[in-house]
Amino acid sequence: MKVIIFGATGMIGAAALLECFADPRVEHVLAVVRKPTGMRHAKLEEVIHGDFYDYASLQPRWAEFDACLFCLGVTSIGLDEAAYRRITFELTMAAGRSMAAVNRNMVFCYVTGAGTDSSARGRVMWARVKGETENALLALPFKAAYMFRPGYIQPMKGVRSKTRWYQAVYDLVGAFYPLLRRMAPGWVTDTETIGRALLRVAANGYPTRVLEGRDINMAGGSQ
């Protein structure tokens, strides 16, 4: 299997990348990034891409790949709806539309978040925009598209958040993570589990197109 990853320098994308390295089914990984990941592996190819709204230079390559794990995103804190929609909806759809135009056999996995509003009409801005993005991706002519809605995510295997105060919270919560996972399996997961879930769903599919926290833990659980 050949896999494209967006967001490989972020917490979830880095976790997905590590799972690709570990999985013998994956023969090649293309990381589309703004800056190098700093990782080295025989499977890894990095492409430094400047404009995440234009993929004309990369579009011919999409046909080579079986799956895209789209883990790129930003917090809505400090952004108005227009700015957040441009970064969330327009940026994601630029990639999705470019891929769907040349590769209808691709599986597209998109990481959104718990609480996403499928109606795209609710009062919470970020949830509304995320819902609009999910709906638009599901309408594209891919072989399949899956929406991943994690809640709290604990970093594992040395993966760290680039946001200092986020990482400070993760460091504090880390000792209690096993307890939290048992108490709230529908809301709590970790980077290792979601990385495995993304890859397994891309390879094998899943009964539903929208995976909530419990689905993510089920799909990415140890085998």
Tokens 């390559």 belong to which residue?
61
**DSSP alpha helix (H) spans, the chain:** 11-22, 81-85, 91-102, 125-138, 164-173, 177-183, 191-204, 213-220
**187 DSSP assignment:** T
Task: Specify the pLDDT at position 223.
Answer: 44
Between CA 41 and CA 132 the distance in angstroms is: 36
Structure tokens of 156? 């594992």
Q: Are the C-beta atoms of residues 84 and 90 closer than 8 Å to each other?
A: no
Torsion over CA: 30, 25, 185, 156 (sign): negative
Structure tokens of 21? 């390295």
The CATH label, of 1.25.40.10, 3.30.420.40, 3.40.50.1820, 3.40.50.720, for the domain at 2-220 is 3.40.50.720
Q: Domain map of the chain by residue range? A: 2-220
Going by C-alpha positions, the residue among 146, 112, 140 that lies closest to residue 128 is 112
Whether the predicted model's global pTM rises above the 0.85 cut: yes
Between CA 115 and CA 206 the distance in angstroms is: 20
- pLDDT tens for the chain, 223 residues: list them: 999 999 999 989 999 999 999 999 999 999 999 999 999 999 999 999 999 999 999 999 999 999 999 999 888 889 999 999 999 999 999 999 999 999 999 999 999 999 999 999 999 999 999 999 999 999 999 999 999 999 988 887 767 666 665 666 666 666 677 777 788 878 889 999 999 999 999 999 999 999 999 999 999 985 4
Task: Specify the pLDDT at position 177.
Answer: 72
DSSP string, 127-169: HHHHHHHHHHHHTS--SEEEEE---EEE--TT---SSHHHHHH
Query: Is the backbone of residue 212 left (phi > 0), alpha (psi -120 to 50) or beta?
Result: beta
Between CA 31 and CA 49 the distance in angstroms is: 10
Task: Specify the pLDDT at position 204.
Answer: 96
Task: Specify the pLDDT at position 222.
Answer: 57
Between CA 175 and CA 78 the distance in angstroms is: 31
Tokens 């089914």 belong to which residue?
25
Strand order in the sheet with 28-33: 44-48, 28-33, 2-6, 67-70, 107-111, 144-148, 210-211
